Amino acid sequence: MGTKAIKKVVDAKKSLSERLSHAFPAAGGKRPARSARIYRADVVIDMDQDQHGMAWHGALTLRSDDVIKYIAPTLEPYKGCTIVDINPGSCLWSDKLHQFLKPKRHILMEPDEEYIEPFVRPLLNKRGSTYVHTNLSGVNSRDYIQNWNDIFTSGSFIGRNRLAQNDPNLRRVDTSLLITGSLVRRNDLFWGAKGSQLSLSNVTWLSLQNRIFHQAGLVRMLWWVAELDKIAFLPHLSNYKHFASASLGLSCTTDEVVAIKSSRSYKADSSALGMRSRYSGIAAESSARVQERMADRGINVPEGRELHQLEQIKKHATNQWRSPLAVEYQTLPEFEAEFCKLHEAVEKYIAIKCGRRITVSHRPALQSLVDSIKYPQVYGAISECPSSATTRRTPGVAGRPGPKVFEGVPAAELRKVLWADFTLQMINLEVHYKVLEENGVDVSALKPRLASLLQQIDETIGWISNVQVTGDASRLWEDIIDFAAPNPILIADRRQYEPLQAKPEDFHPAANLCLLDITPKELDMAVPGVADRAEVVTICSYLLKFMFSFKNRSLTSVLERIAPNAAKDLIPMVPAITDPRRGGRLDPANLKVRQLTDEMMEGLAKAWVEWPFKPETHEMAIEMFDEAQGILRRTSDEALTPEAQKLFILLLLFSLMLRYLPPARYDFTHTAATFYVLVHFKTITSEPPIKTLRASPPFLDSRLLVRLPRCLRKILSSSCLA
């Protein structure tokens, strides 16, 4: 940037947004689309906007001061700390945070020259400034891990020295350091994952290992993130929970401080697939709990500011919540009474003819069953959001609140209500089974009876020929159990406070961003005398990646897929898996991978390192691609040539190596990856790799190519392979 351009940028008479517009003019003079992928955005929420006629159509503009004031009770312990500020950009957020915390040192990691003179330099030149600048990149670059090592490994730079592995302070939050920054920068990484998602994944696993900036204690982080990138970490349904969300939930406590839209708003495919929304009664209960947590922590909404509503709450849903994991009695006779009551209800349902519509002859018996529903939230969910899979033929007949039967309501909808309610009652019986067992009652004869009744429910009521309807029905009770667990499955349901509502215009260029408050948990993954913390964390990463590749399957089937007898040997070592009070099931075959709690994931990782029959990690990786091996054995005209098959297998193995490396080792360069493939290709065939693949044209058009990571597809098309 020339001197003349710099002078225009630092003109104090211009607003911050105008200065940024001069520094980073939009291509072609067009304003970027808010929904598009963004490569740079700066916080401009400040008084600056109102002073220059930028009040955005009269709406109240969220300001940095409001954000800091909102979370001030949680920031008080950090006054006088060291701040490491990654990609500060225009430095507005940095300066406001600096004014509140008055840090002894504030390190600005700003690599872009365009920001330094107009925005960073004035802070460095302030009288008595404690700002320090480095042009090292902090995120979303090939060398950011090394840069972190350069800054944090040498304790003298930030005044923190590495603690011994047995120091109890190592697994405690250190308030002498605070990390903040923006992950909204261009992505020059060559692998497939989005830069911000990769960076967030790294810091979560690094916290469990006490590596880099967690080497002297756990460090809290405040990250500005593109909202499109938060979906993987903060799903709105457990059906969307993947490895990224599981790892973040296991390692850290995460809250949204500022939000524009919820994750649900970005999942347009839910409605397109006819997927039922989560019942707003659950959202109402979740919100009520959050309000209590906010009151306990002294967090108040700034005057004139609005809270962002993660889920819409309807008025009739506010009093329809009952937990199926609640302990309601302590004696065997009470258990027997509840069991017999459920058994009779199931028998009554079986006796009713389940037609497509409810007839007059069915109404008295069906009315009695519906009136006896134990968990009203099930019927509330049906009334609030009828499934398109079962109401398409009779539109407009469902959606009336209250546990009543109306003429014209599809019988399939009521069948789902009863199936979900019966299943929840079964889980409640399992809860009391564990209570009786702990109280010393002989329950040996009860378990087979419970299993038999559950099988009867699933076979006579749960069996529905339409797969979509079956999945929709199971989600009714799964959503309830996921929320009722002691530590809810979804990160959003664990939030300590509600996010403040923001607008795209609070950022320049206008974009949908959010602020995530991430604090590592004081969880120690070490298994004394067996494996250190780093080893167990690495194993945990492998296991979660494998298991969440089959997240909708039962835990037992996935463990058996890893190794013979894995389920039989590992599950008894993790009591939470078979304890319904802690989110498990008496029969772990009824527990899906995506329903695993943090306690269960931690327990499985620790049990794995103690298991003498565990397979090597490369054997686990190869198992994931057994379906690819099946495709390679095709005998149709599209089958690959033998040479191409060998090359494809090699590519799969290389992709598995990338996929199963410890998260902090993803910083491969394109040159190294290309060299690796070229060397190993030469050992298979004397022909150039790309020529061998082109000799089997169906390869390029088959589904095999899309199974490869983006970096390998780039390698195949690079000029050095021609």
User: The whole model's pTM is what?
Assistant: 0.79
Q: Which residue has the tokens 């410890």?
A: 662
Report the alpha-carbon distance of residue 315 to residue 3 in Å, rounded: 60
Query: Which of the two residues, 5 and 342, has the higher pLDDT score?
Result: 342
Mean pLDDT of all residues in 45-69: 53
pLDDT range class, residue 653, cuts 50, 70, 90: low
Q: What is residue 582's predicted lDDT score, i.e. its pLDDT?
A: 95
d(CA 102, CA 106) in angstroms, rounded, equals 9
Out of 59-73, 162-176, 206-220, 227-241, least confident range: 59-73
Per the model's pLDDT, the better-predicted residue between 673 and 184 turns out to be 184
Q: Coil, strand, or helix at residue 264?
A: helix
Give tens-digit pLDDT for 525-566.
999 999 999 999 989 998 998 899 889 999 999 999 888 899
CB 238 within 8 A of CB 196: no
Q: Is the pLDDT of residue 237 over 60?
A: yes
In angstroms, the Cα distances linking 48 to 122, 260, 575 are 17, 21, 56
State the maximum Cα–Cα separation within the chain, in Å, rounded to a whole number.
87
Give the pLDDT of residue 619.
60
Pairing of strands 500-501, 252-259: parallel
- φ, ψ for residue 642 (rounded to 5)? -55, -40
Nearest to 654 by CA among 714, 601, 712: 712
Q: Measure Cα distances from 145 to 11, 218, 242, 645 in Å.
A: 36, 17, 24, 36
What is the per-residue pLDDT for 474?
A: 83
For residue 426, pLDDT over 90 is answered with yes
Cβ-Cβ contacts under 8 Å for 183 (sequence gap 6 or more): 87, 139, 140, 195, 196, 199, 200, 223, 224, 225, 226, 229
| Closest to 274 in 3D by CA, of 472, 451, 412 | 472
pLDDT at 181: 92
- First-to-last alpha carbon distance for the chain, in angstroms, is 38
Q: Is the dihedral of CA 707, 710, 711, 713 positive or negative?
A: positive
Dist CA 694 CA 312 (whole Å): 53
pLDDT the model gives residue 49: 44
- In this predicted structure, what is the pLDDT of residue 671? 38
**CA-to-CA separations, 453 to 208, 346, 448, in angstroms, rounded:** 42, 9, 9
The residues that bridge with 220 in the sheet, in sequence order, are 178
60 burial class (0-12, 13-18, 19+ CB within 10 angstroms)? middle
Residue 327, C-beta contacts closer than 8 angstroms, at least 6 positions apart = 431, 432, 435, 581
The dihedrals phi and psi of 517, each to the nearest 5 degrees, come to -105, 110
- d(CA 365, CA 452) in angstroms, rounded, equals 24
Most trustworthy range by pLDDT among 2-16, 134-148, 502-516, 660-674 = 502-516
Residue in the structure block whose two tokens are 């979804």: 490
pLDDT surpassing 50 at residue 685: no
Instruction: Read off the pLDDT of each residue in 391-403 and give the average, rounded to a whole number.
Output: 39
The pLDDT of residue 79 is above 90: yes
Taking 60 as the threshold, does the pLDDT of residue 177 lie above it?
A: yes
Q: What is the mean pLDDT of residues 119-146?
A: 87
What is the reported pLDDT for 675?
Answer: 42
Across 685-704, average pLDDT: 43
Q: Is pLDDT above 50 for 660? A: no
For 508-535, write each residue's pLDDT tens digit: 778 889 999 999 999 999 999 999 999 9
Phi and psi, residue 686, nearest 5°: -80, -15
Q: Encoding tokens for residue 111?
A: 């690599």
Task: Determine the Cα–Cα distance for residues 694 and 643; give it in Å rounded to an integer.
Answer: 11
Q: How far is CA 388 from CA 11, 380, 482, in A?
A: 58, 16, 23
pLDDT at 262: 82
The pLDDT assigned to 667 comes to 40
Write the pLDDT tens digit of every residue in 292-302: 999 999 999 98
Pairing mode, if any, of strands 252-259 and 513-520? Answer: antiparallel
Tell me the average pLDDT of the chain.
Answer: 76
The number of C-alpha atoms within 13 Å of 327 and in the hemisphere containing its C-beta is: 14
What is the β-pairing status of strands 131-134 and 252-259?
Answer: unpaired
List, in order of start, the domains of the chain with CATH numbers.
59-314+494-520 (3.40.50.150), 332-484 (no CATH), 533-614 (1.10.8), 626-721 (no CATH)
- What is the C-alpha to C-alpha distance for residues 452 and 458, in angstroms, rounded to an integer? 10
- Between the alpha carbon of residue 380 and those of residues 279, 280, 319, 413, the distances in Å are 7, 9, 10, 12
Average pLDDT, integer, range 14-20 = 65
Q: Is 702 within 8 Å of 638 (Cβ atoms)?
A: yes
- Per the model's pLDDT, the better-predicted residue between 649 and 407 turns out to be 649
- Length of the chain in terms of residues written: 722
Confidence of residue 5 (pLDDT cuts 50, 70, 90): very low
pLDDT for the residue 157:
67
| Per-residue pLDDT at 370 | 77
User: Tokens 């979560």 map to which residue?
Assistant: 204
**Residue 712 scores a pLDDT above 70:** no
Given this model, what pLDDT does residue 410 score? Answer: 64
